[in-house]
């Protein structure tokens, strides 16, 4: 009878042991987990990430104003856990929130292990997070940036397309073409060289590689840049954070685009995977159209 009683008691003893271990672990970590606060701030905060110099910069390699996404994941009295995504870089953030009579501010630090890590100082103003970022390495070209972020939900939508009112020119890739003039005496005079840039056709607004299974006839006459944009629009719909400047310039200004993560391979649909393979095959042999544009 005593043996039966001990066997019946054994599960309770094991459960108690596990609870004691859990309690001890909590004590070692500084006590019981703190209650989460300001959960209404959780989620993606998205907007421009810039300096005034960048806005006015007119160099040969135009780079669109970058899009910043700060994902706030957890807030307690002593800790804020978040993540920054910009220019294809995803970095963990750790810091603290202060609530001074309803005025909410954050200080969030990136780890400091990479060249472009820094500190975010943020104030909540109405429905907007406003602040500045300072790089730990002050020797960078632009060691301080500003931002204004609005809370934005990320939802995959296969029907999303690039806006037709924008022009899609790859300002980061050009070739110089010399303009020659034949004089009356038969000699050839150079009038200088003009820059010619890759440009996309209006097919990028017509072909959706997330909703329709494309075929060779759809792609055979497309420019290389067309094929690249159609493919990368798939990734943009899934929130891929582009590292390449060309595609950041195309997608960062788009209202619906939210850079979320560095790898979306597991999110792609069967149609998208098939279309990507076909697009890659045609891109390998496609040529680009170069045009001269006034800037």
Report pLDDT digits (tens) over 68-91. 999 999 999 999 999 999 999 999
Instruction: Give pTM, 2 decimals.
Output: 0.81
Predicted local confidence at residue 290, as pLDDT: 80
**CA distances for 135 relative to 115, 122, 141, 186, angstroms:** 8, 15, 10, 59
Phi-psi region of 205 (alpha: psi -120 to 50; beta: other; left: phi over 0): alpha
Query: CA angle 267-268-274, nearest 5°?
Result: 165
Q: How many CA atoms lie within 13 A of 282 on its CB side?
A: 24
Can you tell me which residue has the tokens 């500003």?
146
pLDDT value, residue 5: 43
Q: From 134, 195, 140, select the one nearest 170 (Cα to Cα).
A: 195
Q: How many CA atoms lie within 13 A of 254 on its CB side?
A: 21
What's 126's DSSP letter? Answer: T
- Distance in angstroms (rounded) separating the CA atoms of residues 35 and 218: 56
pLDDT value of position 160: 98
pLDDT of residue 36: 97
DSSP E strands: which ranges in the chain? Answer: 43-50, 66-75, 80-86, 89-100, 103-109, 118-125, 128-135, 144-151, 169-182, 188-199, 290-292
Closest CA to 224 of 203, 206, 208, 205: 203
Q: Does domain 39-151 have CATH number 2.40.128.120?
A: yes
Distance CA 216, CA 275 (A): 10
Task: Return the pLDDT at 12.
Answer: 46
What is the location of CATH 2.40.128.120 in the chain? 39-151
DSSP structure class, residue 13: H
pLDDT value at position 52? Answer: 78
Which residues in the chain come in under a pLDDT of 50?
Answer: 1-2, 4-10, 12-15, 21-23, 25-29, 58-61, 179-180, 295
**In this predicted structure, what is the pLDDT of residue 15?**
47
State how far the Cα of 247 lies from the Cα of 28, in Å rounded to an integer: 47
């Amino acid at each position: 009878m005593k043996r039966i009683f001990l066997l019946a008691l054994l599960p309770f003893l094991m459960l108690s042991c596990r609870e004691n271990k859990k309690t001890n672990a909590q004590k070692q970590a500084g006590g019981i987990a703190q209650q989460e606060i300001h959960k209404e701030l959780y989620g993606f905060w998205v907007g421009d990430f810039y300096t005034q110099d960048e806005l006015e910069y007119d160099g040969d390699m135009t780079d669109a104003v970058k899009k910043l996404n700060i994902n706030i994941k957890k807030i307690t009295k002593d800790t804020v856990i978040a993540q920054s995504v910009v220019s294809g870089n995803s970095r963990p953030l750790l810091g603290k929130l202060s609530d001074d009579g309803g005025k909410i501010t954050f200080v969030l630090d990136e780890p400091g292990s990479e060249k472009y890590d820094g500190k975010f100082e943020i104030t909540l103003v109405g429905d907007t997070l406003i602040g500045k970022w300072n790089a730990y390495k002050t020797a960078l070209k632009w060691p301080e940036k500003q931002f204004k972020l609005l809370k934005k939900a990320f939802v995959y939508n296969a029907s999303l397309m690039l806006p037709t009112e924008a022009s899609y020119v790859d300002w980061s890739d050009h070739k110089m073409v010399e303009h020659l003039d034949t004089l009356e005496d038969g000699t050839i005079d150079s009038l200088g060289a003009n820059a010619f840039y890759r440009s996309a056709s209006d097919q990028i607004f017509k072909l959706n590689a997330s909703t329709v299974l494309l075929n060779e006839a759809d792609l055979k006459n497309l420019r290389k840049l067309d094929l690249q944009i159609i493919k990368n629009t798939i990734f943009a719909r899934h929130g891929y954070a582009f590292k390449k400047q060309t595609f950041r310039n195309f997608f960062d200004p788009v209202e619906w685009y939210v850079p979320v993560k560095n790898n979306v391979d597991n999110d792609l649909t069967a149609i998208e995977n098939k279309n990507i393979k076909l697009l890659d095959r045609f891109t390998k042999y496609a040529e680009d159209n170069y045009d001269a544009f006034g800037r």
